[in-house]
Chains A and B, each alone.
Chain A
Amino acid sequence: MTAPIEYVIRRLSEYDGPPLRLMEVCGTQTAEISHNGIRNLLSTAIQMISGPGCPVCVTVSAYIDRLIELSGQEGTTVVSFGDLFRVPGSRESLSEAKAAGGRAEMVYAPAQILDMARKQPEKQFVFAAVGFETTAPVYAGIIKKAKKEGLKNLRFLTSLKTMPAAIRWICAHEPDIQGFLAPGHVCAVTGTKDYEEIAREYGIPFVVSGFSPEELITAIYGLVCLRGRGQTRNFYPAVVRPEGNPEARAVMHEVFEPCGAAWRGIGRIEGSGLRIRAAFREFDAGSDGLEEDIRKNSQCRCAQVLLGEISPGDCPLFGKVCTPATPQGACMVSAEGSCFHYYSGNEGGSR
């Protein structure tokens, strides 16, 4: 870890060992790898593939359809982060529904919704709460606050997911992956124990990585050095403690309980989601059972992209029917989606 970054880059560019397919799990890591042009610093024997760690990308169509339905209900406004607006549901996106008269507003920070609800008590708000263990404690805090204040006009349509079960699923179903960059922000909440177990069980190394280009490069080098060994290393110790953040987990578990969850392209994975507990049920806008995943375009191969089975450029729609201006699947919409990054950075794509 103390090796000068130039040395690490040289080792990675000169690597000529057995081919390695390494998965970065987190969408922010995908974005930073692309943003900093890290792929073209690596030997051709090292392939980085993007995992299912972009919350927008793994959201199923039934969830989008339900948001659209709510946005059309008299007196109800759907509130969401920007990315979700353009994700295609089974028929249309929230953005299209809004243009057709649906009520939907964009926020940048979840805390804004409390203000909206307080200031406009005559309106009903539904917040689209998607995310992983990183954002779930934030939502939990907001729900607790809303309950304490007795807010009656704020509900949540949740699609919250937890990483370990999904990564376990990938390890079991995708044998050709030789290492994982563990998601740094998620581990800051959950700690590293889950990943140590998965690493041992499947004999695949995990390195917890930060998000700066130097941290990512160093973590990739860590995986190359650990190849073939079921070990876990924490290369992000300034932020990630082995035990994670127990306080954040406590708030999260007070409001949410584990449940099965549907992942776009994977289907239902037991124990990979969070839902609002009965004690807070009045804040749930009908999140249960949203599992159906109908692709707007039947040729869309987001599913295989998410699992690292194919590169975005291998999808027949990529760069042709499916572009950031006309996304057919979520991976082309999100700023963390691998198709978006392949297209905009032209990494292996054709334009």
Chain B
Amino acid sequence: MKITMAHGSGGWETSQLIENLFARYFSNPILDRMEDSAVVEGGARIAFTTDSFVVHPLFFPGGDIGRLAVCGTVNDLLMSGSRPAYLSCAMILQEGLKIETLENIVRSMAETAREAGVLIAAGDTKVVEGPGELYINTSGIGYMPEGRNIGASLCRPGDRILVSGCLGDHHAAIMSARMGIENEIRSDAAPLNRMVNGLFEAGVGVRAMRDITRGGLATILEEYAHACRYGMEIRQKDIPVSVQTRGFCEILGLDPLYMGNEGKMLLVVKEEDASQALEILRGSPYGEGAAMIGEVTTRHQGRAYVKTDIGGERLLSPLYGEGLPRIC
């Protein structure tokens, strides 16, 4: 069975689709009321974010658009220091999409939401013309715990810079899938809730966190350096990149520092808490490859830079354009 324009009409077919698919997988007391808005418990301070997912192909090694749609928004909420609680899910389906495909994506979203500890509390479906794919938008609400205050501007010299695992896998997996290259590289799409909760529960002095998505680590470090007006120093030899992804990047002339990830984060912590933070990351799901890669310094203030293996130094710049591979 395939999606037709009627599935977006707002009539019988639409309600059938909602009942038989979305409500079945996303079922929870708030969503099940099926009102025009979800009414949820309030809090003193809430975090609120939104993200749209247009990835092609819909399924790729290590994930699918549904898992991404949950992880992306959940991780954005986590990085602000909040506890993710509710998501909305708006689907823009193209005519001709197989129901079976949609079901696989919805099931994946439901599983990922469960893993991330969030409820999908509101949703919408539209159908448009097109070659039978789909786009997903998710918005999310998280609660900010009392007194929690983190941000790039709070970084201070001596603070340590950590990443939660190997860089570039998601980007390389998507590119491999698009190019029809078979390899071992899998997307890292994952919700980071347990890792982040672990850090806060242990009382680690977190200065700032960011999930390393499009633009890559280099772009974020540049933003951090700009925000705190100190230097962000990382060591080339300590930056974790898997052997497969490194090889892929070398062939195509890509730099893992500029590649997107969907389940990795950058963490800046107080110097005295760094080794504890690293231990917590490594002991958490999706954190086994975590590494301490550098520190905040008073050199090159306002810039991020790499200490290269050969003893040189290179200033980093943000990603320009689409991250084009070199030509020969």
Contact = CB atoms under 8 A, between A and B. Distances in A.
B320 A324 contact: yes
A36 B314 CA distance: 7
Contact of B313 (A37, A81, A132, A134): A37
A109 B325 CA distance: 10
Contacts of A115: 180
B327 A334 contact: yes
Contacts of A56: 327
A328 to B, nearest CB: 14
A109 B328 contact: no
Contact of A35 (B180, B314, B320, B325): B314
A132 B252 contact: no
A217 B308 CA distance: 13
Interface stretch (A69-77, A285-293, A338-346): A338-346
Interface string B310-328: 1111111100111011111
Interface residues of B, number: 26
27 contacts: A34-B314, A36-B310, A36-B312, A36-B314, A37-B310, A37-B314, A41-B310, A41-B311, A55-B328, A81-B327, A82-B327, A86-B321, A108-B175, A108-B252, A109-B179, A132-B328, A135-B327, A135-B328, A214-B310, A323-B320, A324-B320, A334-B327, A335-B325, A335-B326, A344-B315, A344-B317, A345-B314
Contacts of A38: 310, 312
Given A37-B308, A345-B315, 20 more contacts: A9-B310, A31-B326, A35-B314, A36-B309, A41-B310, A81-B324, A81-B325, A82-B327, A108-B252, A112-B179, A115-B180, A130-B327, A213-B308, A214-B310, A324-B317, A334-B327, A335-B253, A336-B327, A345-B314, A346-B317
Contacts of B180: 115
A28 B328 contact: yes
Contact of A134 (B252, B321, B325, B328): B328
A312 interface: no
Contacts of B171: none
Given A37-B308, A109-B179, A346-B303, A336 B326 contact: yes
A24 B58 CA distance: 43
Interface in A287-346: 323-325, 334-336, 343-346
Contact of A131 (B175, B309, B325, B328): B328
A230 interface: no
Contacts of A334: 326-327
A27 interface: yes
A256 interface: no
Nearest to A54: B327
B312 to A, nearest CB: 3
Nearest to B255: A35
Contacts of A278: none
B172 to A, nearest CB: 12
A345 B312 contact: no
Interface in A21-61: 27-28, 31, 34-41, 54-56
Contacts, number: 100
A5 interface: yes
A325 B314 CA distance: 20
Interface of B: 175, 179-180, 252-253, 255, 303, 306, 308-317, 320-322, 324-328
B328 A82 contact: no
A254 interface: no
Contact of A9 (B303, B311, B313): B311
A88 to B, nearest CB: 13
A185 interface: yes
Interface in A131-151: 131-132, 134-135
B297 to A, nearest CB: 16
Nearest to A84: B327
B258 to A, nearest CB: 10
Nearest to B303: A346
Nearest to B178: A108
Given A56-B327, A334-B327, A82 B322 contact: yes
Contacts of B310: 5, 9, 36-38, 41, 213-214, 217
A85 B306 contact: no
B326 A36 contact: no
Contacts of B315: 344-346
Given A37-B312, A41-B312, A112-B179, A131 B320 contact: no
Choose among A36, A40, A85, A325 the residue with the greatest number of B CB atoms under 10 Å from its CB: A36
B320 to A, nearest CB: 4
A56 B308 CA distance: 27
A196 interface: no
Interface string A58-96: 000000000000000000000001111110000000000
Given A109-B179, A112-B179, A213-B308, A131 B314 contact: no
Contacts of B175: 108
Nearest to A86: B321
B167 to A, nearest CB: 16
- In the complex, the 9 A-B pairs of residues with the closest C-beta atoms, listed nearest first: A37-B312, A82-B324, A324-B320, A344-B317, A213-B310, A37-B314, A335-B326, A346-B315, A36-B308
Choose among B306, B315, B327 the residue with the greatest number of A CB atoms under 10 Å from its CB: B327
A108 B303 contact: no
Given A108-B175, A112-B179, A217-B310, A345 B317 contact: yes
B179 A108 contact: yes
Contacts of A84: 327
